[in-house]
Structure 1
């Protein structure tokens, strides 16, 4: 039988952390200079990258971090700094802003990781995996991860009509909002990392 309680817990936790709705303005700002087909491709690529990273860390996360002598707070801090750099680019704004990311694959960085598959989602998944002790709990965790990524794809895929509707001036506004949201996420990650180091967990 399926462990529905664990399934709901996994889905809700990862949904809150990965925040499909909050990803929309960031996705719109990063893909604003692209063709619709390119933006659609970026949406599924970002979800695929995120799913791959989450899966790898679910199975091998503890071993990878131990082998590289990396603590979870260090992973959080690194993810926060990387997101902060992207946020500052969106906030400061340059004339080429709408096409700034045309020739780069934003689906890999920063969308796929560390925005979607960030330290929070990775750590949460690793903790849920530790609860797996039967086929039912394994299916619950796996299905929860899959459903969250399906929600992420739907949110980004159907944000494209919004992009066509708001046009260039709207894109500029969305870009500023995205930069602000992303900087807040980055600062929170860094603050959590510093707090954990001070508590002696690093």
Structure 2
């Protein structure tokens, strides 16, 4: 008996990876923690990861209740999420991923690293949609949980060893990975938009189910 839906796990993992874009956080993390010591930078990476995952998991657990209370359909959420992810993808492709800056007096591990950089609207919408698609199947819920753990580990490791990774990849390597993530995210967002439109047309009886 399968405990985890491997195909679904891969889909969740790839989607969250291109949305969160751990390699793309390297230049932002280095810029926001440039005045910190190595120990402070390590703690900031841990706190940022914890905050980001807390936000994502919170919406994964209570997101459906929020949708039901606000009378929002899944296709509507999917369409809005697709538009949102497309905007993020365009920012990645245009090299605007480093526009977020920390406000004076604000802990950068909480804002903007924890949220909205890691636990941002893109990841929140994606996880809520995956929870909807799980449809009560234990193997799919296990896949989502494993994917979230893997993403959390990657987020922490990329930030914790950002200096070393940036040195190995070089500025061009980090930029290349970010641009590739932008292309993949754009494709995912467009697919989400198409699926949402098809769901609307099916619900309205325009096309057969």
Length, aligned pairs only: 167
Deviations 1:130-168 (A, max 9, x none): 1222221111111011101111111111114468x7xxx
Note the residue ranges of structure 2 that are not aligned, 5 or more in a row: 198-209
Structure 2 residue 21 is the aligned partner of structure 1 residue 49: no
| Partner residue in 2 for 1:123 | 125
| Partner residue in 1 for 2:138 | 135
From 24, 31, 34, the counterpart of 2:26: 24
User: Is 2:32–2:101's contact at 8 Å kept on the other side of the alignment?
Assistant: no
From 99, 115, 122, the counterpart of 1:87: 99
| Partner residue in 1 for 2:36 | 34
| Partner residue in 1 for 2:113 | 111
Please report how far the alpha carbon of residue 62 of structure 1 lies from its aligned counterpart in structure 2 after TM superposition: 3.6
Please report how far the alpha carbon of residue 65 of structure 1 lies from its aligned counterpart in structure 2 after TM superposition: 5.8
Distance 2:53 2:101 in 1: 26
Please report how far the alpha carbon of residue 104 of structure 1 lies from its aligned counterpart in structure 2 after TM superposition: 3.2
Note the residue ranges of structure 1 that are not aligned, 5 or more in a row: 91-99, 166-172
Distance 1:147 1:155 in 2: 12
Matches within 5 A, 1:160-199: 160-161=163-164
Please report how far the alpha carbon of residue 35 of structure 1 lies from its aligned counterpart in structure 2 after TM superposition: 1.2
| Partner residue in 2 for 1:5 | 7
Give the ranges of 4+ consecutive aligned residues of structure 1 lying more than 4 Å apart after TM superposition.
65-74
User: Is 1:36–1:160's contact at 8 Å kept on the other side of the alignment?
Assistant: no
Please report how far the alpha carbon of residue 63 of structure 1 lies from its aligned counterpart in structure 2 after TM superposition: 2.9
Change (3 A) 1:157 1:131: same
